[in-house]
Amino acid sequence: EPIEFDSELDWAENFVHMIGIEDPTGNFKKLMQIYFMLHCDHEGGNVSAFAAYTVASALSDPYYAVSAGLNGLAGPLHGLANQACLQFVLDVLDHFKVVPSKEELTQFSKDRLNSGQVIPGYGHAVLRCPDPRFTAFMEFGKNHIHDDDVFDIVKLLFDVVPPVLQEQGKAKNPWPNVDAASGSLLYHYGLKEFEFYTVLFSVSRAMGMVAQMVINRALGIPITRPKSVTYDWLKSNT
Cα–Cα distance for residue pair 83/146, rounded to 1 Å: 22
- Answer yes or no: 124 catalytic: yes
Q: Give phi and psi for 116, each to the nearest 5.
A: 95, 5
What's the CA gap between 144 and 184, in Å, rounded?
13
Told to judge if 78 belongs to the known catalytic residues of this protein, a careful annotator would answer: yes
Residue among 39, 124, 131, 188 flagged as catalytic = 124
List the catalytic residue out of 42, 152, 179, 188. Answer: 179
Cβ density class 13-36: b for 16+ within 10 Å, e for less: bbbbbeeeeebeeebbbbbbbbbb
Alpha-carbon distance 60 to 46, whole Å? 20
How far is C-alpha 32 from the geometric centre of its chain's CA atoms? 13
Buried/exposed 62-78: b ≥16 CB within 10 Å, e otherwise: beebbbbbbebbeeeeb
Per annotation, catalytic residue among 78, 91, 148, 149:
78
Active centre residues (catalytic): 78, 124, 179
